[in-house]
Amino acid sequence: MKDIGLKFFECPLEEKLQYACKSGSAASEGYGSRMLVKDDQVLDWRDYFDHHTLPLSRKNPCRWPHHPPSYRETVQKYSEQMKLLAQRLLTVISESIGLPSSYIQEVIGEPYQNITISYYPPCPQPELTLGLQAHSDMGAITLLIQDEVGGLQVLKDGQWITVQPLPDAIVVNLGDQTQILTNGAYKSVEHRAIVNALRARLSVATFYDPSKQTRICPAPELATKDSPPRYREVIYGDYVSAWYTKGPEGKRNIDRLAVDS
């Protein structure tokens, strides 16, 4: 995936623009260069290509790059493997807190999977900007691979910690819906990407999310008298719309659903 991604981003701009995603529409498929659509926001120092891979009704490989020739098949195979891994991890998470093994997967129902390749060009003044602003992923679980350059940081105890790139490692980032479903037993991770002056960086994030109609609330088995629900119920599509309208600003979207907020 990293190889084909790099080959695409190294193409001339005119070629990349043939796959440009629709402007003005959040999370549309294709090549783009900003995460948010509002004009008054600081833009991320990032190019990306977003692929809609699941459910199959959303998948249209004609919209994916044609070069290198192995591009589409690679994305297809990777999508299948990442789906299996995400499901395995959600099973383990459910079991680890006493829920039936398929609990989270059943709530999510038919998964929505997007694969986003991010390319962060070298930045002459890296201290003035970010590759990707601080956020938590809005869905259930994200599986991320990165090249050896490094730049992903996670917020821990108020400090930004760089996730050292390891060859062949997959970084598991839990998303906000997993935090809600587990009533806070698992927390989504606040993260960002920094850039550097010398080297371009590439990462591939595979998001595994509910459909827009899905109702998400803390699992009733976990929200008891002694430990009441900590989050209000939300329809996932409403959560996504709010995220895109207001911006991520760290974890403010999930914080707004907290019962004591």
Binding residues for Fe ion, rule: CB under 5 A, are 137
Candidate list 118, 133, 183, 206; residue touching ligand AKG; CB under 6 A? 118
Q: Does 52 bind ligand AKG (CB under 6 A)?
A: no
Candidate list 47, 50, 137, 190; residue touching ligand AKG; CB under 6 A? 137
Q: Of 2-10, 59-67, 99-107, 144-152, which segment contacts ligand AKG by CB under 6 A? A: 144-152
Q: Which of residues 168-227 bind ligand AKG (CB under 6 A)?
A: 191, 193, 203, 205
Tell me the C-alpha distance between 107 and 84, whole Å.
Answer: 17
For the CB of residue 253, give the shortest distance to ligand AKG in the complex, in Å: 14
Long-range interactions of 8-12: CB distance < 8 A, separation 24+: 8/49, 8/65, 8/67, 8/71, 8/117, 9/47, 9/49, 9/117, 9/119, 9/200, 9/202, 11/65, 11/67
Q: Does 251 bind ligand AKG (CB under 6 A)?
A: no
Q: Does 116 bind ligand AKG (CB under 6 A)?
A: yes
Question: Which of 147, 113, 108, 180 has its CA nearest to residue 2?
Answer: 147
Specify whether the CB–CB gap between 105 and 91 falls below 8 A: yes
Residue where the block lists tokens 């997967």? 105
| Number of neighbours of residue 58 by Cβ within 10 angstroms | 13
Provide the pairing of β-strand 191-193 with 132-135.
antiparallel
- Measure the CA angle with vertex 77, ends 72 and 4; round to 5°: 45
Q: Does 146 bind ligand AKG (CB under 6 A)?
A: yes
Whichever of 29 and 137 has its CB closer to ligand AKG, that residue is: 137
Q: Does 117 bind ligand AKG (CB under 6 A)?
A: no
For the CB of residue 45, give the shortest distance to Fe ion in the complex, in Å: 15
Question: Closest-CB residue for Fe ion?
Answer: 137
By CB under 6 A, name the binding residues for ligand AKG: 116, 118, 132, 137, 144, 146, 152, 191, 193, 203, 205
